[in-house]
Amino acid sequence: MMWYGNGFHWGWMLFGGLMMLLFWGGLIALAVVIIRAFSGPGSQASGEGGPRQDSALEILNARYARGEITKKQFDAIRRDIAP
């Protein structure tokens, strides 16, 4: 039992491996957080941070309210796009 008091212990090896995993995992998580913070909300493929997509009927109503189209054009387009 010469190794017990002065030598290598398996516990320290496991502890070192765990610390290495925690270090690299934390470093990768930090990199992901930084990249997401600088990429901005509009760069996500989908989500609440991106620009809102208006439906065709909402766009049609807005155009009619601004006077861009007549009542006859409004009714014709609405019949075409309505389900």
Residue 52 has a pLDDT of: 61
**Other CB atoms within 10 Å distance of the CB of residue 60:** 20
Q: Which two tokens mark 32?
A: 């992901």
Ranges under pLDDT 50 in the chain: 1-2
What are the domain boundaries of the chain?
7-38, 54-83
Distance of CA 6 to the CA centre of its chain: 52
Residue 72 has a pLDDT of: 95
